[in-house]
Structure 1
Amino acid sequence: MWQNSTSSNLLKKLENNFNIKGLTENQVIEARKKYGQNSLDFRKDSGFIYVVKNIFKEPMVILLLVTSSIYFITGNIGDGIFLALAIVLVSAISFYQDSRSRNALDKLKVYTQPNCKVIRDGAVKEIKSHNLVVGDCMMVEEGHTIPADGTVIHSNDFSVNESILTGESFSVYKNQTEGNNTIFMGTMIASGLAIATVTHIGNDTKLGKIGKSLEEVADEQTPLELQINNFVKKMVVAGVFIFIIVWVINYFKSYNVLESLLRALTLAMSILPEEIPVAFTTFMAMGAWRLMKMGVVVKQMKTVETLGSATIICTDKTGTITENKMSLVRLYSAKSQKISSLDEDLTSDVKELIRIAMWASEPIPFDPMEKELHDHYKNVFGDDERPIYKMYHEYPLGGQPPMMTHIFQDASGHRIIAAKGAPEAILEVCGLSDNFRGEIEKAIHSLAANGYRILGVAQSTYEGDKFPKKQQNFHFKFMGLVAFYDPPKLNIIKVLKDFNTAGIKIKIITGDNAVTTKAIAKQIGLSDFERSISGDDLMKLADSEFKSKVSHYQIFTRMFPDAKLKIVDALKASGEVVAMVGDGVNDGPALKTAHIGIAMGNKGTEIAKDAASLILVDDDLSKMVDAVAMGRKIYANLKKAIQYIISIHIPIILTVFMPLVLGWIYPNILSPVHIILLELIMGPTCSIVYENEPIEKFTMQKKPRPLTSVFFNWKELTTSVIQGIVITFGVLSVYQIAVSEGYNEATTRTMVFIVLMSANVFLTFVNRSFYYSVLTTLKYKNNLVPLVIGTTVLITVLLLFVAPLNQFFQFEILKPNPILISIAIGFISVIWYELVKYVKRKRKDVLID
């Protein structure tokens, strides 16, 4: 119901927001000081405390603490201090990486904060919902989530789904009536519009008071996260097993418990791949942040790893493929049985068609087509009837295909009963002769063939107040058709081509009719545009036939929520990775079910945004091409980072293990201080350099990665293991060369260290691509490569030639010849893989990762 008012000033009230002035800016400031911001804040660990707790759960930090303590106990104060400083440095790096990830996620939270409308100083303003204050007059409408508790002061066919609080899924109608005028934060608006005074915000709302339960909800790990964690756990188990062996061997050689424990801890440190979980978290968070900067807001981290696997995108037509401008372009009058253009002089029957179509719309329109009808009514008619009538009864949009009916009445009791909806729905309720219906259907086909969106319009009369339960039970008179044109977006042809190149299929799922949809599909160059199937026809099929039809058709028309949901489920059952684009209330179930739910940032309802895992800020489908590319790039770069970690860890492990087990002359060539030094130098490479790598050529020409595929197949893992073993062979060869030349332990250690460092630098370059040559990857734009590599080389030079550092780490200042031999062997132990890449390119095997 509209708010009661006299017929003489209703229009003025409409223009002045029903004479509601709302708060002034000074009142808003005072209310915010008194009541705070409208946000749900529960007790949680601060970022610093959270990070500190997690740092001391890290196995590497525990090992460093134990090792440092042993050094202090045995009198090696210098080594003990170094490892203590290493703990601080490792913690600082962890804190930096965690804060980097948290900052990225915090920015995402701010970006996904929904907007809401308020009346302040007599004007409607759009603000972020957390800026609402007690006393604000908020405007809420269909498809949105209520941002605060409030009391309704004006409503129009307003109903709310309060299942989040009550568990009941049916809608509850609300109006200004005492006892039925309270609305609550977090509940969904099922229909209509309302203005409400905010009574409670944030933790003081009903939702806020029960929000403590949100703290107990644990984050579910993604499949990729589980795979990586399982891999790390296996490495830890292997590390424990080898640790025990090394401890036992050392003990029976020296019979010194602490000394043998120290040697075993050295190996344990070399085995722990603590960089892998850090790299995963960093890549996902930074990927989400980069997507946000591109205009794609990721609400769930798992979406980042799923993006590169998308095989099908199910998209709406209106506002996604088209501009959503909805210009009224043609009118078909039942009286003249003629299609008219708005450029012509409008006859009285065409004007009446516009009038009835307007009355069939919402009194305060928010749908583009209804806004267009209101604007044209105002332009056509000098005497505006809208102030004279008030809403008396309403039948909301319903049925398959859908229609809606509005009943208005003036002070003298005169009524206007107007309906509009899908032409098929309107024709069904008008009782037309076959001949007349045939003429109308010809007009519908003619209009639809041009890609126009068509609505049927009808009117009725009714005495008394006992209205039919269903709007279809009125005796309607067919008035005509109104046709809107929503042109395709300028970039949509290129977008579809890009998806096709990336191996991603497009399916249009729309509520519009088949002829209109086919016309638009033809204009945008969609293949197989002539074939389509309706929601009703689909739902009649058996499950096996349903799945087959869904796989083979690209265009689905006259769709409704159940049919959309069933299509998504059928595609998933066929092994497809489904991205679903939606913006309406009815898209919620399908968005939630799809692997990637995509909502529109501008025209999307809050319900759609809430159900989706990803939001396109500017409603631009081309951003999905960028998002898929980003998803593929993140996945590929994370693989490079972890393959680098595996390859470089193997020589460190074996350099500690082999001389001891084989009883070589210098069994403990590397001590804990050397291992932690290597970890600190090499660690940033994987999570900083590789995260910043650009997307490789042909990445968007590959087929989507199957979602069920394991992160590492045996071929990739074998590549990393072989790289690591060859580097190990180079390190141990230098060890033997040094011994054969009669060099002492310090010189041998220095040469071994140089091989490890040079191999690390060359591996960073070689593993930037497992297909293209290092000469090609040198041209990749990544400003962090020279920074990180330059820092690594500088540190190595300082360690080798600055006497205090040289002595502390038990190195020797070498002559040029041993240095060059060590660098050359480090180079050869890595560069051989360029031959493998050369063979791949000769085979033109572009799709090999």
Structure 2
Amino acid sequence: MINPIDFGIKGLTNEAVKSSRKKYGENSLNYKKENGFFDALKSIAQEPMVILLMVASSIYFITGNNGDGIFMVAAIILVASISLYQDSKSRMALEKLKSLTQPNSQVIRNGEVVEIPSEELVVGDSLMVEEGNTIPADGIIVHSNDFSVNESILTGESLSVFKDASKLDNKIFGGTTVASGLAIATITEIGNNTQLGKIGKSIEGIQEEKTPLEKQISNFVKNMSIWGGIIFLLVWGINYLQSREVLESLLQALTLAMSVLPEEIPVAFTTFMALGAYRLMKMGIVVKQMKTVESLGSATVICTDKTGTITQNKMELAKLFTLDTGEVISVESTLNNFEKELVTIAMWASEPIPFDPMEKALHEAYTRIAPVDQRPHYKMVHEYPLNGKPPMMTHLFENSEGHRIVAAKGAPEALLATSTLTDTQKEQITAILTNLGRQGYRMLGVGQAIFQGSEFPEKQQDFQFVFKGLVAFYDPPKDNIRQVLKDFDKAGIQVKLVTGDNPATSMAIAKQINFPGYEKNMTGEELMQLGDTELQQKVKSTQVFTRMFPEAKLRIVNAIKANNEVVAMTGDGVNDGPALKAAHIGIAMGQKGTEIAKQAASLILVDDDLSKMIDAIAMGRKIYSNLKKAIQYIISIHIPIILTVFIPLALGWVYPAIFSPSHVILLELIMGPTCSIIYENEPMEKNTMIKKPRPFTTTFFKFKELITSIIQGLVITLGSLSVYQYAIFEGYNESVTRTMVFMVLISSNIFLTLVNRSFYYSIWTTLKYKNNLVPLIIGITLILSALLLFVPPLTRFFQFETLSFKQLAIAVLVGIISVLWYEIVKGIKRARLKLK
């Protein structure tokens, strides 16, 4: 294979790299960055709960109640610390993801081609870029093959521009993308000195739009805050009219406002998404945007490429067919001169510095059979890039003596159409194509032309080619692909094969792996003949799409989306970009994927293994399910706190101010970790991957689920207020009553955490789930409760009282019963499902 060094390009030495970096710095866009820590502090200071705590602590200090004031300040510090910790965890997870999505670059250093992070690129480096790459810095081209660049990010012009070393336009610019071919360029500007850096365009500056789920959660919290504000003013007004005490009535109103605010919900959402993305990263799945985590569990259809996704992407040259012999032979056989000539012409039709697996295989085969390597003696004088439907490409080489080679390769149909062949020969070649295709081989036609003039034809199809034969490659299916397809089917997800390969080869590979519906095939040309409505119906029943090109792939994705399906699309090439962008979940390959594909996609499979998508979908379903459990828990536990504060106050019961702001914040601090730590760490339920995907249009707060949470909350409220009335009936004082009601809420909180780990399986099943945080958090809650009850300074401070065994037993028992009733509902659900 030809090496860039053969072109006299040896690149920088290690010493020269260090010197350049010292002089010009790193290749990164450095704009004024915001301070994450201080921004987080500013954000926390604006949180409604923190503002309420500040007001409450101020009132305590003003009224001389310094103990409560100090506790409130401590609570502010604790709330801020928890929020900062959660924020830093989220930011660290996202920073790690961000670093993984930064592209690498190929450079020539010390006479060798090496891959480095793009940030390590220096002025003077010899950079190699090829089709699909994003150019990481500005430079001047020193060598190129069929090289064109899309510069729309700088110029707004969508058409690609052809460039080479001999043209006036021989510069490349950072941020632009390679549309075709390969080039080697000497880097002249990096970082902020590039054209992109000077005009200040940075992808980092683009704000992500909120997802439907984010909007729903944001609106829910906003509505609760508004209601909290209304109730706060109402309670303040009522209390002031009764007592004429401004600050006392304000404190009681603040207590209620605190109990209404569900500030844990946005924290839980951010934590779940960021940590979910981080967990996926550790599994080899790089999620570029948090919102992808949310949509993963909804995927109903996956459109997958064949090469490198279904198959191993080995592209080994396996068979040769020449018209001169009329036989198909294995490359491992002894080759005659006709077969050697076929391999040689196919090599000349490839790029001089190959990057495509098939072209690499042809160069390697030529190296094995050539008695003398002729490549260093020939120079490319003209080239026709890969184009046409079906596609082909042509290269013209010349040596110093003026001997010219005109070589072409491409889809066999394209070469048949441009070659002079008899009907008998065409029939013979078609029969060979059908036979090899049925065996799963991928074939290229090879042709040669003679051309003496200097005015080259405008189109490569205008040459009169001599059809030399076929080169056939075999790309075996991946070992695990059959199981992957079964897993997708079990999860209720359809898989569709979308490939640029010919129908016979695609269907042969599909048949080998038991691909569902492999016998139903549609080509790109057939697809483009259909109207939108007809195509929508056709994509429902067709599983294999062959000879696909960018416009056809995009139409498939849009047609499936129009059927209200959630589409995941895998891809690796430049031509996959539009379809990856259009899919709900674009999946790029980490190893063989081009930078364009990676930019367009929303997640990247690091090792190109489709089985990872099963893991990703399982993780998406788990995160969504756990987030739902956490938010249902928050709703359920907030209702009794709100009503236990409000009802005695509104109805003028014996002890109207049963809870102060200190008690509410104490409950909030106990509840916060439960939802954001325990539920985030919950394992996936065993029926998660046999359920149908959830509809994408379904709102997060289903009426049935919301009603469940509300009823759970109301039953707990009934329990706490029943104990309140029991305490009054027994003649207990305010401290005992307060303590008993508080213990009802604590015990119901513990058991609600356990019961809501599943809305289907019993508590006895969920207790076996592996989640080390459950005993830890519950243990901390029990220790804290014991301290409040049995450590006199704490008991006095919170105006509690040490309860007798009977009082404590009643409070705990009522708390447990207030929650455990839901186990009966779950039992009925399971019984109904068994009867079906």
**Match in the other structure for 2:62:** 73
| 2:551 matches 1:555 | no
Task: Give the CA deviation at 1:75.
Answer: 1.1
Among 505, 508, 522, the alignment partner of 2:494 is 505
Determine if contact 1:746/1:810 at 8 Å carries over to the other structure: yes
Among 595, 610, 620, the alignment partner of 2:599 is 610
Determine if contact 1:698/1:846 at 8 Å carries over to the other structure: no
- Equivalents in 2 of 1:189, 1:439: separation in Å? 39
Task: Give the CA deviation at 1:126.
Answer: 0.6
Task: Give the CA deviation at 1:319.
Answer: 0.6
**Match in the other structure for 2:158:** 169
**Match in the other structure for 1:49:** 38
Task: Work out the number of aligned pairs and report it.
Answer: 836
- Equivalents in 2 of 1:124, 1:500: separation in Å? 43
Matches within 5 A, 1:619-630: 619-630=608-619
- Equivalents in 2 of 1:15, 1:197: separation in Å? 13
**Match in the other structure for 1:676:** 665
Task: Give the CA deviation at 1:182.
Answer: 1.7
Task: Give the CA deviation at 1:627.
Answer: 0.4
RMSD value, Cα: 1.4
- Equivalents in 2 of 1:93, 1:189: separation in Å? 46
- Equivalents in 1 of 2:130, 2:647: separation in Å? 71
**Match in the other structure for 2:187:** 198
Determine if contact 1:560/1:586 at 8 Å carries over to the other structure: yes
Matches within 5 A, 1:762-781: 762-781=751-770
**Match in the other structure for 1:284:** 273
Task: Give the CA deviation at 1:215.
Answer: 7.2
Determine if contact 1:314/1:508 at 8 Å carries over to the other structure: yes
Equivalent AA in structure 2 for residue 339 of structure 1? V
- Equivalents in 1 of 2:353, 2:610: separation in Å? 29
**Match in the other structure for 2:138:** 149
Task: Give the CA deviation at 1:576.
Answer: 0.9
- Equivalents in 2 of 1:206, 1:388: separation in Å? 38
Equivalent AA in structure 2 for residue 387 of structure 1? P
Task: Give the CA deviation at 1:655.
Answer: 0.5
Equivalent AA in structure 2 for residue 605 of structure 1? T
Matches within 5 A, 1:355-374: 355-374=344-363
- Equivalents in 1 of 2:204, 2:613: separation in Å? 33
CA offset digits 1:248-307 (Å, max 9, x no partner): 221122111111111001000000000000000011111110110000001111111110
Determine if contact 1:391/1:407 at 8 Å carries over to the other structure: yes
**Match in the other structure for 2:305:** 316
**Match in the other structure for 2:568:** 579
Matches within 5 A, 1:497-536: 497-536=486-525
- Equivalents in 2 of 1:317, 1:485: separation in Å? 12
TM-score (norm 2): 0.98
- Equivalents in 1 of 2:544, 2:285: separation in Å? 26
- Equivalents in 2 of 1:574, 1:17: separation in Å? 54
- Equivalents in 2 of 1:285, 1:118: separation in Å? 34
**1:843 match: secondary structure:** helix
Task: Give the CA deviation at 1:167.
Answer: 0.4
Among 122, 127, 132, the alignment partner of 2:111 is 122
Matches within 5 A, 1:786-797: 786-797=775-786
**Match in the other structure for 1:811:** 800
**Match in the other structure for 2:238:** 249
- Alpha-carbon distance change, 307 to 213 in structure 1, aligned in 2, over 3 angstroms: closer
Matches within 5 A, 1:42-441: 42-177=31-166, 179-211=168-200, 217-441=206-430
- Equivalents in 2 of 1:89, 1:341: separation in Å? 73
- Equivalents in 2 of 1:355, 1:20: separation in Å? 25
**Match in the other structure for 1:697:** 686
CA offset digits 1:735-773 (Å, max 9, x no partner): 111111111101111111111111111111000000001
**Match in the other structure for 2:789:** 800
CA offset digits 1:512-563 (Å, max 9, x no partner): 1101000000011112211201000111112221221122100011011111
Task: Give the CA deviation at 1:214.
Answer: 5.9
- Equivalents in 2 of 1:628, 1:164: separation in Å? 33
- Alpha-carbon distance change, 106 to 22 in structure 1, aligned in 2, over 3 angstroms: same
- Equivalents in 1 of 2:120, 2:198: separation in Å? 19
- Equivalents in 1 of 2:10, 2:375: separation in Å? 22
- Equivalents in 1 of 2:564, 2:421: separation in Å? 47
Equivalent AA in structure 2 for residue 280 of structure 1? F
Task: Give the CA deviation at 1:179.
Answer: 4.0
CA offset digits 1:652-692 (Å, max 9, x no partner): 00000011112110000000000001101111110110001
Among 452, 472, 478, the alignment partner of 1:489 is 478
Determine if contact 2:126/2:185 at 8 Å carries over to the other structure: yes
CA offset digits 1:462-513 (Å, max 9, x no partner): 1211111110110011101111000000000011110111111011111111
**2:735 match: secondary structure:** helix
| 2:719 matches 1:749 | no
**1:412 match: secondary structure:** coil
**Match in the other structure for 1:6:** none
Determine if contact 1:693/1:782 at 8 Å carries over to the other structure: yes
- Equivalents in 2 of 1:342, 1:156: separation in Å? 28
**Match in the other structure for 1:7:** none
Equivalent AA in structure 2 for residue 437 of structure 1? K
Determine if contact 2:6/2:376 at 8 Å carries over to the other structure: no
| 2:10 matches 1:21 | yes
CA offset digits 1:399-442 (Å, max 9, x no partner): 00100011111111111111111111111111322111001100
- Alpha-carbon distance change, 840 to 230 in structure 1, aligned in 2, over 3 angstroms: same
CA offset digits 1:233-252 (Å, max 9, x no partner): 12112212221221122112
**1:580 match: secondary structure:** strand
Determine if contact 2:319/2:330 at 8 Å carries over to the other structure: yes
- Equivalents in 2 of 1:674, 1:552: separation in Å? 61
- Equivalents in 1 of 2:10, 2:428: separation in Å? 52
- Equivalents in 1 of 2:156, 2:82: separation in Å? 46
- Equivalents in 2 of 1:688, 1:124: separation in Å? 47
Equivalent AA in structure 1 for residue 452 of structure 2? E
**1:691 match: secondary structure:** coil
Among 442, 449, 455, the alignment partner of 1:460 is 449
Task: Give the CA deviation at 1:216.
Answer: 6.0
Instruction: Structure 2: give runs of 5+ residues left out of the alignment.
Output: none
CA offset digits 1:135-178 (Å, max 9, x no partner): 22211111101011112222222221111100011122222247
| 2:529 matches 1:540 | yes
- Equivalents in 1 of 2:201, 2:111: separation in Å? 37
Determine if contact 1:17/1:123 at 8 Å carries over to the other structure: no
- Equivalents in 1 of 2:168, 2:388: separation in Å? 31
Equivalent AA in structure 2 for residue 379 of structure 1? R
**1:45 match: secondary structure:** coil
Task: Give the CA deviation at 1:43.
Answer: 1.2
**1:387 match: secondary structure:** helix
Identity of aligned residues (%): 66
Determine if contact 1:17/1:122 at 8 Å carries over to the other structure: no
**1:266 match: secondary structure:** helix
Determine if contact 2:4/2:353 at 8 Å carries over to the other structure: no
